[in-house]
């Protein structure tokens, strides 16, 4: 089965605490429609459900948000270390959600970002089975793109490390260590 090429992570900045002077702050997850979710894959097949899950995390009550995050984790970082094609495209939105004070599962989102940043499952497998690198669907490329996407938004850590919520600050410190910050 042929899948669409993995989209490159967005270049939109999500680490600004306030919008630049003279512009209105964009609605949460405003860029979701620019990602071809139905053309990329998560662990269940089409990643078409990813925007719905992100929206439930952003707007849901604590139970709904946590349930959606658990489902999203299974789809983009299965077992806490196996990333998928849709992972890199999802990372900028996870960073955005981690910075929104009304999101109830921010510490868990930050831990998911750490899991993605530490993911090396496909690379380790390819070291033993190099033929994996010759496949049309190259999960090593997905894994590296996902890690790059986490690193690209690490400027947001400053704000998260200073958060008054000890769980968020602790999860952020763990992510910072993983990123070598």
pLDDT profile of the chain (181 residues), mean per 10: 48 46 65 95 94 97 98 91 89 97 97 93 71 73 92 94 96 95 74
| Residue 98, pLDDT score | 97
| Residue 14, pLDDT score | 46
Distance set, CA 14 to CA 25, 90, 146 (Å):
11, 13, 16
Q: Give the integer Cα–Cα distance in Å for 150 and 113.
A: 7
| Mean of pLDDT over the chain | 85
Q: Give the integer Cα–Cα distance in Å for 172 and 167.
A: 8
Q: Give the integer Cα–Cα distance in Å for 29 and 22.
A: 20
Considering only CA atoms, give the Rg of the chain.
Answer: 16
b/e code 65-85 from CB counts within 10 Å (16+ = b): bbbbbebbbebbbbeeebbbb
Q: Which residues pair with 78 in a beta bridge?
A: 82
| Residue 179, pLDDT score | 93
Q: Give the integer Cα–Cα distance in Å for 13 and 152.
A: 9
| Residue 181, pLDDT score | 74
Which residue bears the tokens 């849901």? 60
| Residue 91, pLDDT score | 97
| Residue 25, pLDDT score | 58
């Amino acid at each position: 089965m042929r899948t669409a090429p993995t989209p490159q992570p967005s270049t939109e900045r999500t680490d600004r605490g306030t919008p630049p002077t003279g512009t209105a702050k964009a609605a949460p997850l405003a860029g979701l429609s620019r990602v071809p979710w139905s053309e990329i894959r998560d662990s269940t097949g089409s990643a078409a459900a990813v925007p719905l899950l992100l929206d439930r995390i952003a707007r849901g009550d604590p139970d709904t948000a946590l349930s959606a995050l658990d489902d999203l984790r299974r789809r983009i970082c299965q077992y806490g270390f196996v990333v998928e094609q849709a992972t890199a495209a999802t990372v900028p939105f996870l960073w955005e959600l981690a910075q929104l004070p009304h999101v109830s599962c921010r510490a868990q989102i930050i831990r998911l970002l750490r899991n993605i940043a530490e993911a090396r499952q496909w690379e380790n497998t390819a070291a033993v089975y190099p033929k994996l690198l010759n496949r049309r669907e190259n999960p090593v490329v997905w894994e590296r793109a996902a890690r790059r996407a986490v690193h690209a938004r690490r400027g947001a850590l400053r704000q998260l490390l200073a958060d008054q919520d000890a769980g968020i600050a602790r999860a952020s410190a763990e992510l910072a260590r993983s990123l070598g910050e």
